[in-house]
């Protein structure tokens, strides 16, 4: 269990270091072109997800995401106390990743975001993004489990561009990005609504695919 928790902490740390670090780098190099900056943020995020899931999947399952952990708890594949610990270590790892990104780019260590991300369109986007992420994982888990790292990386790469929220789809990521007043940030006052929508989407997706794949969670 210690190794699993450490894997969730370290993997989420690297995920957020990549999300925030690439956002800072992209914004600095893009010369004000937001589309180029978003592309520079998207590609590293999709790529690191593939790598992290390949590396940490055999150890902890490579959740790095409380919404994903919630899904596997609902499927009775992880105990409640283990799921709670996973979430705690994911959140801590995410915040550590943000701090490391700030150190690497000489940003203020603690720098709460002022970037507004709120409103119905953003909430719908987060529902769609999280539903799609869980759908990707569960669909591949049923038929092609070895493809999950690549499918998740590709899905998030796509979702950065087809959702107006740029696809956070992850409560730990959302909390951590509230600490970064950078390209990837989110105003801390807007975090709670994102998380509520993400968790709701995870539940809906879990039971939708329980029916769709004709699975029985009772074990």
CB 23 within 8 A of CB 176: no
Q: pLDDT-based confidence at 217, cuts 50/70/90?
A: confident
Q: Residues with Cβ < 8 Å from 119, sequence gap 6 or more?
A: none
Taking residues 144-161, report their average pLDDT: 97
The answer on pLDDT for 51 being more than 60 is yes
Nearest alpha carbon to residue 110 among 123, 121, 101: 101
Q: For the whole model, what pTM was predicted?
A: 0.95
Q: Which residue has the tokens 């994982």?
A: 137
CA atoms in the 13 A half-sphere facing the CB of 102: 21
Percentage of residues in the chain with pLDDT exceeding 70?
99
Confidence check: pLDDT of 215 > 90: no
Q: What angle do CA 170, 21, 108 make, to 5 degrees?
A: 100
- Above 60 in pLDDT, residue 90? yes
| Closest to 45 measured CA to CA, from 140, 126, 154, 123 | 154
Q: What is the pLDDT of residue 3?
A: 97
Give me the mean pLDDT over the 135-154 stretch: 97
- For the chain, the maximum distance between any two Cα atoms, rounded to a whole number of angstroms, is 55
pLDDT (tens digit per residue) in 165-183: 999 999 999 999 999 999 9
Residue 75 has pLDDT above 60, yes or no: yes
Mean pLDDT estimate for the chain: 96
| 219 pLDDT more than 60 | no
Q: What is the pLDDT of residues 93-133, one digit of tens each?
A: 999 999 999 999 999 999 999 999 999 999 999 999 999 99
- Enter the DSSP assignment of 190: G
Share of the chain above pLDDT 90, in %: 97
Task: Give the per-residue pLDDT at 214.
Answer: 87
Q: What is the pLDDT of residue 216?
A: 78
The mean pLDDT of 141-159, rounded to a whole number, is 97
Domains by residue range for the chain, with CATH: 2-212 (1.20.1080.10)
At 144, is the secondary structure helix, strand, or coil?
A: coil
């Amino acid at each position: 269990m210690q190794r699993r928790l450490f894997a969730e902490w370290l993997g989420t740390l690297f995920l957020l270091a990549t999300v925030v670090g690439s956002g800072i780098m992209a914004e600095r190099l893009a010369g004000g072109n937001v589309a180029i900056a978003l592309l520079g943020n998207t590609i590293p995020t999709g790529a690191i997800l593939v790598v992290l899931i390949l590396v940490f999947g055999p150890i902890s399952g490579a959740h790095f995401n409380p919404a994903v952990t919630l899904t596997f708890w609902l499927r009775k594949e992880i105990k409640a106390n283990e799921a709670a610990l996973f979430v705690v270590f994911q959140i801590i790892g995410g915040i550590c990743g943000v701090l490391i990104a700030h150190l690497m780019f000489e940003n203020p260590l603690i720098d709460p975001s002022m970037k507004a991300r709120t409103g119905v369109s953003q909430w719908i986007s987060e529902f769609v993004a999280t539903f799609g992420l869980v759908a990707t994982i569960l669909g591949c888990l049923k038929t092609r489990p070895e493809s999950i790292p690549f499918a998740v990386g590709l899905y998030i790469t796509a979702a950065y561009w087809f959702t107006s929220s740029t696809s956070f789809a992850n409560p730990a990521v959302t909390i951590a990005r509230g600490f970064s007043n950078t390209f990837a940030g989110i105003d801390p006052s807007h975090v709670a609504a994102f998380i509520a929508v993400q968790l709701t989407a995870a539940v809906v997706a879990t039971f939708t695919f329980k029916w769709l794949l004709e699975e029985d969670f009772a074990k």
